[in-house]
Amino acid sequence: MGSELGRTASADVVWASQERSPETHERASLIGLEDVGSIEEMVRRVEMIVSVCPPSAAEDVAGTIAGTGYEGIYVDGNAISPATSARIAQHFDRFVDGSLIGPPPTTAGTTRFYLCGDDADVVAEVWAGSDLAPVVIEGPVGAASALKVAYAGWTKGSAALLVTMAAYAREAGVGSALRDEWDLSIPGLSDRLARTAAGVGPKAWRFTGEMDEIAWALEELDLPAGFHEAAAEIYTRMADLRRVESPDVETAIDSLFDA
């Protein structure tokens, strides 16, 4: 997702390759991003920094940037709780809370970048008219993160539940009977299970932290967090599918018991 944000931005985009993986180097090279080497040099060169990383790393990344004395706009586009966003905001004089909904924006109309904060309009201008649609929303810092919590709490939470119940049915010896019943009463759910296994499996390692953030957000409003605590465990068990291309349903189910 981060590389596509760079590709679709109307501004000059740089990145820091220090301690980054070969895969990240390749993605940045493919879209022609300028490598400035170190975080310190990046901070010296830019007026805006956008953070898109696994949710569990969001605060550490923000702390690293703040530690350099950075004075520009810091945009946190990670899938974090409003409380985490508020803590990060304390590091910066100019902070924009953001959340991304949709796949990497390779075509127009698929992905929105929700933004809130005093400089949200400034950030939105960078992607105006691009394949990524910026959407400025009203509310305090954390509003964009809250929207992502509500959206992903359903989409990724229900995906974890679907795989879990398919795993239960198989182990209980009623897997085929369940699929037959789905075909009768919930047409298309078997196909959704296959798409979930193929699409979610390789990304599950990144979803654990997001489920934790959703659980914390729900607890803050006195709502049960157990749904997403369990989803975090499911995605932890599926983490070994990270380098499996389009795993099938049986492979995804097996990962729940092999962990």
Compute the distance between CA of residue 132 and CA of residue 136 in angstroms, rounded to an integer. 13
Identify the domain containing residue 236 by its residue range: 146-258
Q: How far apart are CA 9 and CA 7, in angstroms?
A: 6
Same domain, 88 and 210: no
Do 74 and 181 lie in one domain? The reply is no
30 and 113, same domain (yes or no): yes
Domain count, the chain: 2
Same structural domain, 161 and 193:
yes
Output the pLDDT for position 200.
96
* Residue 16 CB-half CA count within 13 A: 17
Which residue positions in the chain have pLDDT lower than 50? none
Task: Identify any residues that bridge with 74 across adjacent strands, giving them in sequence order.
Answer: 49, 95
Both 127 and 150 in a single domain?
no
Determine the distance from the C-alpha atom of residue 55 to the mean position of all C-alpha atoms in its chain, rounded to a whole number. Answer: 7
CA angle 76, 145, 147 (to 5 degrees): 145
Q: What is the pTM of this model?
A: 0.92
pLDDT of residue 156: 97
What is the pLDDT at residue 204? 96
Q: Which of 139, 157, 175 is the last residue of a domain?
A: 139
Quick one: 133 and 22 in the same domain?
A: yes
Q: Which of 116, 139, 162 is the last residue of a domain?
A: 139
- Residue 259 has a pLDDT of 61
Q: 66 with 190, same domain?
A: no
Alpha helices (runs of H) in the chain, residue ranges in sequence order: 2-8, 22-30, 39-45, 58-66, 82-89, 120-127, 143-171, 175-185, 189-200, 204-220, 226-237, 249-258
CATH number of 193's domain? 1.10.1040.10
Same-domain status, 36 and 112: yes
Check whether residue 97 and residue 167 sit in a common domain: no
Predicted local distance difference test score (pLDDT) of residue 31 = 80
Burial class (CB in 10 A: 0-12, 13-18, 19+), 126: buried
Of 139, 160, 192, the residue that ends a domain is 139
| Same domain? 22 vs 112 | yes
Domain co-membership, 109 together with 159: no
- Do the beta carbons of residue 247 and residue 202 sit within 8 Å? yes
14 & 135 share domain: yes
Tell me the CATH number at 93.
3.40.50.720
Cα Dmax for the chain: 61
